[in-house]
Structure 1
Amino acid sequence: MGGESPPRRIRADAERSTARILEAAEAVFAEDPAASLERIADAAGLARVTVHRRFASRTALLDALAEQLSQRYLLGLAEARVETAPPLVALHRLTEIVFDLKLGHRFAVQLSAALTPAVVDGLDLLFARLRDAGAITAADPAWCRQVYLALLHEVYDLPAGSPTLTSAGAGDEVEAKVNLLVRTAVGALGGSSDTTGVALDR
């Protein structure tokens, strides 16, 4: 049994190094999307050979960032209970989670590869449930998803002092953005703002 300790320790060290590289890459790429692996190694405080050992190319590193965010999206879908919660409540909770992810992953959220088929299926299921519940009238979940994601980026980029954001209601900036996005998306997809307000007040 004693012979198993070194391999386990090596694996643990490798996992810590990988986590440091991904964290550094997220921060560095957010400032400079064209940054080199060498710069990321410096930011992570690791030898350059270590980064190249974990990720043979920028593409491999970008794929890892997308995969990491995809897993967090899936956790968010599960936490929002898109399959079982009242759909408007699930939409509101999911929007809170996604805004939180955007704050911590400003670069990775731009990677389309993070929207894996499993993530897309979860979003489409939520919009199908919203339609079935009568919260929206738009019939195509894929179209609903595209509208929601487009609005998400626009609302997220609103400056804090925007009149549009101020009119979204009380609460801090993030809460106001969440409420604005949910109400705007539901309205754009044929839903009632009155129904949305009732659901979100629960």
Structure 2
Amino acid sequence: MSETAGRPLRADAERSVRAILEAAERVLAEEPGASLEQIAAAANVARTTIHRRFASRQALIDALASSAARQLARAVDDGRPDTAPPLVAMHRITANVLQVKSAWAFALELPSDPGSEAAALHEDINHRCLAVLKRAQDDKLIDAAADLDWVRRVYYALIGESLRGNTDDTDPDTLATRIIDTLLHGAGPHTRTT
């Protein structure tokens, strides 16, 4: 649930904030310099509604970054990174993350201010990713000598490249299988494990 000044929002205000954030994602992805008036029009709300919910354009952008980061964290949680078998967790998390990243590409590319909610969420996601990779390493899916931070960075790059200009295969499960297969086996001949 969203909050304004520490108070939970009513259901109608929550819907309004969600509509504003969704519109901001669409509008700013097309035109990063778009005005609050353009975002309000896309959200089907008055500009004053945006000003009631967000003190400034930057506050709206910060809220957009935090909202997208929360959705990304939920996508990771849904993959059961601590309890599912590592290969299952990696596949499910990857499919979930692909869906969130494709829906919130602009917001998730915003730089996070140190100390912000979005920065803290991204840091937590990085730690959870490393924990899943460590579990995969313990299960001998990843070489024991592999630098897991490097593996994490390669994994993130594979996800990013899968989303750039991908028009042939947009099914998240198919892309997740391809990403995990490439991460664990590279491009050489092998027997598939997923």
TM-score normalised by structure 2 residue count: 0.80
For 1:193 and 1:69, how far apart are their aligned partners in 2?
A: 36
Please tell me the residue identity of whatever aligns with 2:98. F
Mapped partners of 1:101, 1:126: distance in 2: 19
Distance 1:77 1:159, change over 3 A: closer
> Is structure 2 residue 152 aligned with structure 1 residue 145?
yes
Does the 8 Å contact 1:125/1:141 carry over to 2? no
Residues 85-94 or 135-144, more deviating: 135-144
Structure 1 equivalent of residue 12 of structure 2: 13
* 1:16-27 mapped onto 2 (5 Å cutoff): 16-27=15-26
Which residue does the alignment assign to 2:133? Answer: 127
1:88 paired residue number: 87
Deviation at 1:41, TM superposition (A): 0.9
Give the one of 175, 183, 186 matched to 2:184. Answer: 186
Pair 193,74 (structure 1): closer, same or farther in 2 beyond 3 Å? farther
**1:151 alignment partner AA:** L
Corresponding position of 1:33: 32
Q: Which of 177, 181, 186 does residue 175 from structure 2 map onto?
A: 177
Offset of residue 175 of structure 1: 3.7
1:5 corresponds to which residue?
none
Contact 1:160 1:173 in 2 (8 A): no
Q: Deviation per CA, 1:23-76, whole angstroms, max 9, x where unpaired? A: 111111121122111110111121112112211222211221121122222222
Residue type of the partner of 2:151? C
Identical positions, percent: 42
Q: What does residue range 90-105 of structure 1 map to in structure 2 within 5 Å? A: 90-105=89-104
Matched, 1:116 2:114: no
Secondary structure of the corresponding residue to residue 56 of structure 1 = coil
CA contact (8 A) 1:156 1:177 kept: no
* Matching residue's letter, 1:149: Y
Structure 1 residues 99 and 80: CA distance shift in structure 2, 3 A = same
Tell me what 1:155 maps to: 162
| Native 8 Å contact 1:91 1:182 kept in 2 | yes
Paired AA for residue 130 in structure 2: D
Query: How many residues are matched?
Result: 178
Structure 1 residue runs without a partner (length 5+) = 1-7, 166-171
Preserved contact between residue 69 and residue 108 of structure 2 (Cα < 8 Å): no
CA distance in 1, matches of 2:167, 2:15: 36
Task: Report the TM-score when normalising by structure 1.
Answer: 0.77
**Structure having the higher Rg:** 1
Q: Which amino acid in structure 1 is aligned with residue 184 of structure 2? A: V
Once the 2 structures are TM-superposed, how far is the Cα of residue 193 of structure 1 from its aligned partner? 4.7
C-alpha RMSD of matched pairs (Å): 2.5
Residue ranges of structure 2 left out of the alignment (5+ in a row): 1-6, 113-117
**Structure 2 CA distance, aligned partners of 1:27 and 1:81?**
30
Question: In 1, Cα distance between the equivalents of 2:132 and 2:33?
Answer: 36
